[in-house]
Chains A and B, each alone.
Chain A
Amino acid sequence: MSKAYLSIENVGVTFKGRGVVSEVLRGVDLQVVKGEFVSIIGHSGCGKSTLLNLVAGLLPVTTGAVILDKVAVEAPGPERAVVFQNHSLLPWLSVYENVRLAVDQVFRGTKSRAERHDWTLHNLNLVQMAHAKDKRPAEISGGMKQRVGIARALAMEPKVLLLDEPFGALDALTRANLQDSVMDIHAKLGNTVLMITHDVDEAVLLSDRIVMMTNGPSATIGQVLDVDLQRPRRRLEVDTAPAYVAARHAVVEFLHDRAPGVRAAAA
């Protein structure tokens, strides 16, 4: 796998606290090619968020390594921008200022003031939020906040974009809308994306590959599924395609077999 852009190599995570040692992840191996859209799906508590935090550098690995573009990840940084589950916009800054803060921080040395202003607006346009640039996060809807969160992450020109259940808190219609936007942006910019989700349809619709996690403790990758669907994918055309139905079935089956209730019934 010399082509791998992002490489997660034999990663394990163990938390120690008050004499209790709990192994969250064990032996996770994953290679992601540049421009690939990979989803990670699994039951609650399977450590999928932990895995994302490792790639982000927000958590240290206990064993193994995360390597991005030939450099080991040791700390958080803008080349691995995160879109947080609950948007995490700073409420005292306007929409524009939230994105501008990231732009200023990343491009202070390389772009002029005017260029940074244009780049901020460009990214807000990309998520169709330029119209609300002077609003505060409290004044816009949940879906709009998440759009701004995505704009902020994109504005850092990350090598890999990390989405941590980005649409989990949104209603179904808003979610569908944002999924379409993310597909458009991915088609336009060709980002490498790692997305955590617990929504099967979302994973199948958006991803090139779906990584299915086993249940914790000591969770690891159970199965990796290639989603063999042409892009661009249109929601209404794709969801009856045999490849879509097959992929969806495979993921549901994997998750169902590992549902806590099913295991208890089988035992």
Chain B
Amino acid sequence: MALPALSTDADPAPPPKPAGASVVSMPSPPKRPVSAARLGENAREFAAVALPPIVTIGVLLFLWEAIAMTHPGGLPAPSMIWMESRELIVHPFFDRGGVDKGLFWHALTSLKRVAIGFSAAAIVGIALGVLVGGSKLAHRGLDPIFQVLRTVPPLAWLPISLAALHQANPSALFVIFITAIWPVIINTAVGVRNVPQDYRNVGRVLRLSPAGYFFKILLPAATPYIFTGLRIGVGMSWLAIIASEMLLGGVGMGFFIWDQYNASRISDIIVALTWVGLVGFALDRFVGLIGRIVSRGAAAD
């Protein structure tokens, strides 16, 4: 008897989210019995966080609409986009085979590529970063090379990787890898170099073995830096995949945008850009969240 009553009580706890603001990050509510007063407080808190961006978005859309109305022939107005691309907006999951898919599938394909390329960049980048941060010799030998290579724009790697790998898909993965790896290497190296002398001394007084020192002190101390690098890296790899897909074709967000450009469907492109932005934002927050969980407050002291 009591249980169903409780669960119905708890059901209205998450406030309804307007569709446009679903990505607003909220502080996790403390686990207390939900009371009416608490609910009211939550709603107020939610309004304080969600209202400003909703208002700004509204104002921007209005300005855009006004400008597009007075200057016909340029970009389509928001109302025009809604009319032309309604199908694309409300049905992200359709799949008519080939490349005629909903935006969700294009985004998923791009995300899969990012997952593979970025994971490789994270593993290799952290390993190289630890090496460069820990060894003066490795730093002197490798750092100048890194500093030069990291300034090469992602798309400049594409012809090289196509020439070396001959295939589109591995080339796209390589471009992501090579784009994302530099911030990971550099931030990891800084983190390793910046392990406070006090923590090193603790390790020395405790006579930790090299492996013990690595896992118990060095890696946790460098974790916040590593995740800074990973966060920059994942953002850059999302930029890189969109750009490289434009050139490589197939399924994917970048290809979709290029395809719609060739078909002069500007409205669809704007819808796709919104997707690109939201997915990129979600990626960034996701890596940030993982970082906060993994570093367990290492940054706070």
Number of contact residues on A: which range applies? 20 to 34
Q: Tell me, yes or no, whether A72 is within 8 Å of chain B by CB.
A: no
Select the stretch in B3-11, B49-57, B105-113, B202-210 that faces chain A.
B202-210
Q: Which residues of A contact B198 (CB under 8 A)?
A: 84, 86, 88
- B222 → A minimal CB distance (Å): 11
- Contact, CB under 8 Å: B220 / A92: yes
Please, how many residues of chain B have a CB less than 8 angstroms from a CB on the other chain?
A: 22
- CB-contacts of B193-241 with A (<8 A): 196, 198-199, 201-202, 204-208, 212, 216-217, 220-221, 223
Q: Which residue of A lies closest to B205 (CB)?
A: A76
- B216 → A minimal CB distance (Å): 7
**With A88-B202, A92-B298, A138-B297 given, is the CB distance from A78 to B223 under 8 Å?**
no
Q: Which residue of B lies closest to A58 (CB)?
A: B201
- Contact, CB under 8 Å: B220 / A90: yes
Q: Which residues of B contact A178 (CB under 8 A)?
A: none
Q: Tell me, yes or no, whether B188 is within 8 Å of chain A by CB.
A: no
Q: Which residues of B contact A205 (CB under 8 A)?
A: none
- A105 → B minimal CB distance (Å): 5
- Contact, CB under 8 Å: B223 / A92: yes
- Contact, CB under 8 Å: A78 / B205: yes
Q: Which residues of B contact A80 (CB under 8 A)?
A: 205
- B129 → A minimal CB distance (Å): 19
Q: Tell me, yes or no, whether B296 is within 8 Å of chain A by CB.
A: yes
Q: Tell me, yes or no, whether B36 is within 8 Å of chain A by CB.
A: no
Q: Tell me, yes or no, whether B179 is within 8 Å of chain A by CB.
A: no
Q: Tell me, yes or no, whether A137 is within 8 Å of chain B by CB.
A: yes
Q: Which residues of B contact A88 (CB under 8 A)?
A: 196, 198-199, 201-202
Q: Which residues of B contact A76 (CB under 8 A)?
A: 201, 204-205, 207
Out of A102, A106, A138, which one reaches B301, CB within 8 Å?
A138
Q: Which residues of B contact A102 (CB under 8 A)?
A: 206
Q: Tell me, yes or no, whether A43 is within 8 Å of chain B by CB.
A: no
- Contact, CB under 8 Å: A90 / B205: no
Out of B216, B295, B300, B301, which one reaches A101, CB within 8 Å?
B216
Out of A58, A82, A86, A105, which one reaches B207, CB within 8 Å?
A105
Q: Tell me, yes or no, whether A255 is within 8 Å of chain B by CB.
A: no
Q: Tell me, yes or no, whether A91 is within 8 Å of chain B by CB.
A: yes
Q: Which residue of A lies closest to B196 (CB)?
A: A88
- CB-contacts of B158-213 with A (<8 A): 196, 198-199, 201-202, 204-208, 212
A-B contact list, 13 entries, CB within 8 Å: A75-B204, A75-B207, A77-B207, A78-B205, A80-B205, A88-B201, A90-B199, A90-B202, A91-B297, A91-B300, A101-B206, A105-B208, A137-B301
